[in-house]
Amino acid sequence: MSSIIQLLPDHVANQIAAGEVVQRPASVVKELLENAVDAGATEIKLIVKDAGKTLVQVIDNGKGMSVTDARLCFERHATSKIRHAEDLFDLHTKGFRGEALASIAAIAHVELKTRQDQEELGTHLIIEGSKFTSQEVAVVPKGTSFSVKNLFYNIPARRNFLKSDTVEFRHIIDEFERVALAHANIGFMLYHNGSEMFNLPGSNTRQRIVNIFGGRTNEKLVPIKESTEIVGIHGFVTKPEFAKKSRGEQFFFANDRFIKSGYLHHAVMAAYEGLLKEGCQPAYYIYLDVPPNTIDINIHPTKTEVKFDDEHALYAILRSSIKHSLGQFNVAPVLDFDRDNNLDTPYEYEQREAVMPTVQVDRTFNPFADEKPVRAASSASTYSAPSFRKEKQPAWESLYTGIPEAAEELEGISFETEEVTGSLFNDNEVEQAVYKTYQIHKKYIVSPIKSGLLIIDQKRAHQRILYEQFLTNITVHHAASQQLLFPLVLHYNKSELDLIREMREALENTGFVFAEINHDHIVVSGLPVNVAESEVSILLEELINDLQQEVPDTSFSQSDSIAKSMAKSLAVKTGTYMNEKEQENMVNALFACKEPDVSPFQRPTFITVSVEDLDKRFAI
């Protein structure tokens, strides 16, 4: 009987490994950028076309590779980072498993140009689907240039599962920002479809954060710094008043490697306890320096999840250092035991006794006297109280003079009474009084109907009303707008501004008017009629956050997402009091909608309780 277990061919094994290493174009960007950093580059250029589906190219000025290394780097488990198993617990580099380039070469067309500094000529390699098609000597600049073209060309199913260009490019920016923040001393550049997106010169950490996320970020930052035997902590957190609804700008770096840790995030939130509004998240950029032998970074294929030896101590140190920094920079209240010398008693007052104050009372003062007598001047003071003359008022008995005579005149008068023959209200008015609406717990609106009761969720009902209004305005390209006397200036980073530019037409159809969209801010000169000026920043922030999660391909789906996000942000919240007129308007507007029974998020907006159901409950 023949054996059924066989070794897989290399190209098949590489494609399987690519399923773990290369999930999307952003995975290629991450691997190539980390290789450039490990090569000792001081300038790294990233060039992307069609969100990485057509081209991902990374050019660095690092130490380059020899002819043998250039060919060997595409083999499986070939790496220059480790030599022995013990090296896994003393890592000072990014990549170490030696699978990335082999996996990328298995599913794309790869072109490599590299030259070492001491060599006059370099190497030019072309690989298609793990097969070397060309290798020749070439004149190339010092360093390495990796070009990855037509990603997933030989796996159509994987290519079809890629999202829209907007979503994929958002992931590329995320990976680019993580590497750029971890290495502020290296210059980074990013080009997408021929346009320069980022040009970050080598600088310090604070300047790198400001260059990525905008100039207004500098005023939000609070530095943190702590050094212990277990961990060294440095970086920045933001002031509580700049917290956002989304968890966007939150970065942990362990030994200059981006990581994700819900446990450490909880430590940050614990440090902000009592300082944040409900549902808000602070931004932070925290760098942890731990001994390499106390951290395991090989527990996840993407190496973003790590394991620390003493997480509890790390939690406590991180929490206390952030809390100390917030108090030190007068962001949070602290107990200050430093004494102000200006409050000390002067030396010349040391032997003096306290002098009791003298109180003078005018014993002759009579508020009911017609005229206040003048107080005689004393030897201590020549003060005389002013005299007040009180006008003489008639006695209170005079108010009732003439009453008996008038009463005697009224004794002979008889009053005619009318018999009430009908109701003050007609039947329609009585029916309207019966069918009034009521609000329960500032959450539900109850309205009687012929068959029983109608109970409406005010938040979901208002979401449905606003959603259909916004969707109609976007589709018909006609919406009312209120002009602002003083335009609003709102600051955003580059990726958020790109998203606003893409959605500008749809937003203007809802009633927004953008006077200017600059490289780091926008100017809003007009708003939809149902949007208050104070709600604009919150509304746009939540809209950007929702659209960053998933931007659909079709324009209708984009409009639908915008309408849903705006309806969710502007709908009346649970706990809001509504008067009777507002309740009636909401009920009438809800049942004027095309789909009044569900919210835009497919939740029921109302329920009905019939009289029969009530009778059954009372029959128990």
DSSP label of 374: P
Of the options 3.30.230.10, 3.20.20.100, 3.90.79.10, 3.40.50.460, the CATH number for the domain spanning 205-328: 3.30.230.10
0.95 surpassed by pTM: no
Q: Which two tokens stand for residue 356?
A: 């009791």
Three-state SS across 554-606?
Answer: CHHHHHHHHHHHHHHHHCCCCCCCCCHHHHHHHHHHHCCCCCCCECCCCCECE
Contact 50, 165 (CB under 8 A): yes
CA separation for the pair 567, 573 (Å, rounded):
11
Quick: pLDDT tens for 373-431.
555 444 444 444 555 555 555 666 665 565 555 555 545 555 555 555 444 445 554 44
Highest-confidence segment of 77-86, 244-253, 437-446: 437-446
Evaluate if residue 16 carries a pLDDT over 50: yes
Q: What angle do CA 508, 280, 222 make, to 5 degrees?
A: 105
Quick: pLDDT tens for 568-585.
888 888 888 888 888 888
Give the per-residue pLDDT at 396.
Answer: 60
DSSP label of 265: H
Evaluate if residue 602 carries a pLDDT over 50: yes
Give the per-residue pLDDT at 377.
Answer: 46
- Tokens 């494609």, located at residue: 15
Task: Kindly report the CATH number that applies to the domain delimited by 440-607.
Answer: 3.30.1370.100
DSSP label of 257: -
Pairing of the two strands 307-308 and 438-440: unpaired
The residues, any chain, with a CB within 8 Å of residue 539's CB and separated by 6 or more, are 531, 566, 569, 570
Q: What are the extents of the domains in the chain?
A: 10-200, 205-328, 440-607
* Interval 135-142 mean pLDDT: 90
* Interval 19-46 mean pLDDT: 88
Residue 335: Cβ within 10 Å count:
5
Q: Which two tokens stand for residue 199?
A: 């040009």
- Tokens 């037409």, located at residue: 505
Task: Kindly report the CATH number that applies to the domain delimited by 10-200.
Answer: 3.30.565.10
Closest CA to 552 of 502, 486, 479: 502
* Interval 143-156 mean pLDDT: 90
CA separation for the pair 222, 237 (Å, rounded):
5
What burial class does residue 71 get, using C-beta atoms within 10 Å of its C-beta: 0-12 exposed, 13-18 middle, 19+ buried? Answer: middle
Give the per-residue pLDDT at 430.
Answer: 43
Quick: pLDDT tens for 527-540.
888 788 888 888 88
Three-class DSSP category at 256: coil
* Residues forming a β-bridge with 310: none
Contact 566, 539 (CB under 8 A): yes
Closest CA to 159 of 111, 105, 109, 107: 107
Q: Alpha carbon of 154 to those of 86, 132, 149, 534, 593: distances in Å? A: 38, 16, 12, 52, 49
Quick: pLDDT tens for 297-338.
766 666 677 788 888 999 999 999 999 998 887 665 555 555
